[in-house]
Structure 1
Amino acid sequence: MIFSVDKQRLLALHYIYPLPLQKLQRLLSPVDVFSNFEEAPPYEIANALQITLQRAMQISQSFRQIATFPFEEAYERSNIFPIPFYHPFYPGQLFDISSPPTVLYVKGRYSLLTIEKQVAIIGSRKATTYTKTAMDIIVPPLVKHGYTVVSGLARGADTMAHETTIRVGGHTIAVLGHGFNYIYPKENQVLAEKMAEHQLLVTEYPPYMKPEKWHFPMRNRIISGLSQALVVTEAALRSGTLITTECALEQGKDVFVVPGPIDAEQSKGTNKLLLEGAIPVCDGHEIVQTLALFSNKN
């Protein structure tokens, strides 16, 4: 059980130690360490969070230094809206993923998080014109039927997914692997600024956190977690795209895959997914119809 928590204290702790929800729960039950965190003995913090005593002492000291800093006001000045796990806009489907985020930081139209009809579209960072063609066929029917497109703002297929959705008048969400003080890749700076104004950027990382290679596999669970289904355009056999696919399958989501030429390196991963039972898709209407069929059965 997660008890009610003070938002100011939560934002302060999350700033210095962006812990997932399971770890926050350890600070609240069976003993409430969080409510008196600044006075808590470091060994209690270490035991609750399963970290070293030295790390617990560092966290305790940092917390005491910033506990009263006005985080909400500072975030507001930067147009950042923090959404703790108990906020009405926090997507309920994220409670079903591995290590739900304790806080989401968003820029843009945060009401998009409340839209149930969301489909993730991902693919290779080295996506070819084949992915561009696939986007032009798949995205418009999704937008027409009210689906929000979720992706990761990476170069290649992610960028194409966001840009195609915007071009045809739809809504799109980008899940980032870093804080808002950074944009990665840098060539997507303009796209990110546009999305921060008219669409939505989401991250589980406080603003100061830089892009790190291990952040991106972690953010993939949020991309798939937000979505009813996952669409894969192109992917090589060894691809980060397949990590997101694994997350979606673990979460019980439908995985749609665009078949590719058998001699294309960027289609070897997607064709392998088809052999393993993914749903082949050649048109966005097929996705809409399949999701509607499963929805009616439920």
Structure 2
Amino acid sequence: MYKKRRYRLLYLYYCGISRKMIRRILQYDPTMSHIYFLTPREIHQALSIPLEKAERLYIKLHQRQIMRRILIDEKKFHIITIFDQHYPIQLRKIPDSPLVLFAIGNLHLLRYHQIISVIGTRHPSKEAGQKIEHIVKPLILNDWVIVSGMAIGIDSMAHQAALEENGMTIAVLGSGLNHIYPIRNRPLYNSIAKQGLVMTEYLPDTKPKPYQFPERNRIISGLSYATLVIEATEKSGTLITVDQALDQGREVYAVPGSPYLAETLGCHKLIQEGAKLVKNSLDIEMDWEEYGKKWLQP
């Protein structure tokens, strides 16, 4: 029964049906076995959606080539559904949990609890490397998993720091695994896939689109006990991840810097609003010892 339910979910996902609609289908038909036998009008009535939308959904539900695509992708990637035992427990607790994850690399990293997301501007200052050396590298050496989004700037620097120390790192992409973005980070992707884990909720052939990056940020923060902001401008997109971390009940840390640098103003704003100021890795380690070990408990 589990296997059938899993493949039915994957079928819906590969049909291009939205997470919101799949959840509505699950509410109406938890086994996802009845929905395929409904007419468009019956779908319209069962899901309380416009008839035109029900007709489009009906067409999607009867695409014959879908299972072939699923079986091909299963040979190339790890495919994890929300029904699987190895689905990350921390993601089950966030709003709008991803229903399906595609990954390449070491899935065992998802079992760790000492996971921290390290994020920041795509245009870091000259001091950013020193901040990562001073704060992030000691965490890596103490077996923390570093999560980031493999973007240019702070993300790449955090991943690279983990790789250089033979540490553990997870990259969460805003595109499918057949469309690595940014292209210039292909070597970094290859290294993380070999030594760490690369994952995404997007189908393998999904090209990068602007809205997908803020959307994937909920997974970056959701995987992590805490989010650490190394540098950010006052209106940085990094702050989207911070907002999601707060909505998920995660800790937020920010690194202070010179008040004359634009790249530090976002961090200063976060600290003023209640983020914890980080002087060194011990500030995070001590919180973990006191509070963090309980964060995944019911």
Q: What TM-score comes out, normalization by structure 2 length?
A: 0.91
User: Structure 1, residues 79-128: CA drift from partner, whole Å, max 9, x if none?
Assistant: 21110001121111112212111111111111211111100000001112
Deviates more, 1:3-12 or 1:108-117: 3-12
User: Structure 1, residues 38-57: CA drift from partner, whole Å, max 9, x if none?
Assistant: 32222454566665433432
| Alpha-carbon spacing, 1:284–1:128, altered in 2? closer, same or farther (3 Å) | same
CA apart distance, 1:193: 1.4
User: Structure 1, residues 56-94: CA drift from partner, whole Å, max 9, x if none?
Assistant: 3233223312366234431133x2111000112111111
- Maintained 8 Å contact 2:14/2:66: no
Residue number in structure 2 paired with 1:103: 100
Report the 3-state secondary structure (helix = DSSP H, G, I; strand = E; otherwise coil) of the residue aligned with 1:237.
coil
State how far apart, in whole Å, the 1-side matches of 2:245 and 2:29 are.
34
CA apart distance, 1:19: 3.1
State how far apart, in whole Å, the 2-side matches of 1:82 and 1:40 are.
28
Residue number in structure 1 paired with 2:10: 11
Aligned letter for 1:146?
A: D
Q: What TM-score comes out, normalization by structure 1 length?
A: 0.91
| Alpha-carbon spacing, 1:263–1:50, altered in 2? closer, same or farther (3 Å) | farther
* Percent of pairs with identical residues: 36
Residue number in structure 1 paired with 2:218: 221
CA apart distance, 1:245: 0.4
State how far apart, in whole Å, the 2-side matches of 1:43 and 1:212 are.
33
User: Structure 1, residues 186-233: CA drift from partner, whole Å, max 9, x if none?
Assistant: 110111112122211111111111111111111111110000001001
Report the 3-state secondary structure (helix = DSSP H, G, I; strand = E; otherwise coil) of the residue aligned with 1:106.
strand
State how far apart, in whole Å, the 1-side matches of 2:175 and 2:23 are.
24
| Equivalent of 1:198 in 175, 195, 213 | 195
Residue number in structure 2 paired with 1:74: 72
Residue number in structure 2 paired with 1:169: 166
Report the 3-state secondary structure (helix = DSSP H, G, I; strand = E; otherwise coil) of the residue aligned with 2:199.
strand
State how far apart, in whole Å, the 1-side matches of 2:127 and 2:36 are.
55
Count of residues in correspondence between the two structures: 294
User: In angstroms, what is the RMSD of aligned CA positions?
Assistant: 2.2
Deviates more, 1:184-193 or 1:276-285: 276-285
| Alpha-carbon spacing, 1:111–1:276, altered in 2? closer, same or farther (3 Å) | same
Report the 3-state secondary structure (helix = DSSP H, G, I; strand = E; otherwise coil) of the residue aligned with 1:6.
helix
Residue number in structure 2 paired with 1:62: 60
Unmatched runs of 5 consecutive residues or more in structure 1: none
